[in-house]
Structure 1
Amino acid sequence: MKRTLCLASAIFISFAAGCEKNDVVIQTTSSSEPQTQSLNSFEKADYKLSFLTDQIENTTLSTSQRQKLLCIECPKTYQEEYMPAFLALQPADTSQEKLIQEMQFTLNYYQQRFDIKCT
């Protein structure tokens, strides 16, 4: 359990480090409109995922609310907003399959932690 928590934390930290790295790369290259839009989309999606994660970890949240966030809202936000924005910023550095695997790893961690089954 402790190992899983450390691994999940490492994934989120790597995303955060990647975000900072993106800012530097984008600022040092030409500031075209598509890059700015991609960065703004990514920041919005990243904020939404952080907010959802905070809600999932909220100790006052009911099991049904946590299940809805974990099984519906997080995957939807990740796949429809976060992944496209992330891939627009770094299309050669990663793949959609890799991002889906990372999402599944994180969702599985929370499902085990809170004993939630997604159907």
Structure 2
Amino acid sequence: MKNRILITVLMSVAICGCQKQQAESSAEPDSNIRAQFEQSDNQLSGYLDKLDSSTICMEERISILCNQYPEEYKNNYMPALLQLAPEEYTEKDLLRDLDNALNFYKLKANIQCS
């Protein structure tokens, strides 16, 4: 009986120790993903600030709407956000949000991407 209790306690300690170590090692990739997300979010905010400005030329507006913004969103922002909050967001929802944002600015500036 004492041997069973001792074995159970030792196994519990070993499992808890392994879980804590695993959680600590997974914290660094999470911080890297968070940094990627924040950097990408700042980049996208910069694009939106430019699109809201009346001083940028049409060529730059087209480049942002048709190339830069969708590339940054799909290649950096969306993957990081899906890793940080997979229970809150889906790829389908994020792509719909991207389309809504791009369509708003395209209609506002009368731009059609080829």
- The equivalent of 1:57 in structure 2 is 52
Q: Which of 101, 109, 117 is equivalent to 2:104?
A: 109
Please report the TM-score for the alignment, with normalisation by the length of structure 1: 0.72
After superposition, what is the alpha-carbon deviation per residue over 1:48-107, rounded to whole angstroms, capped at 9, x for unaligned? 000011111221111111011111000000000100110110112211111000000000
- The equivalent of 1:76 in structure 2 is 71
Map residues 18-29 of structure 1 onto 2, 5 A cutoff: none
User: SS of 2:64's equivalent?
Assistant: helix
- The equivalent of 1:88 in structure 2 is 83
User: SS of 1:107's equivalent?
Assistant: helix
Alignment gaps of 5+ in structure 2: 1-22
**Greater length-normalized contact order (CA 8 Å, ≥ 6 residues apart):** 1
Which has the greater radius of gyration?
A: 2
Alignment gaps of 5+ in structure 1: 1-28
- The equivalent of 1:9 in structure 2 is none
Please give the root-mean-square deviation of Cα atoms over the aligned residues, in Å.
Answer: 1.5
- The equivalent of 1:33 in structure 2 is 28
**Identity score, percent:** 31
Runs of 4+ displaced beyond 4 Å:
none
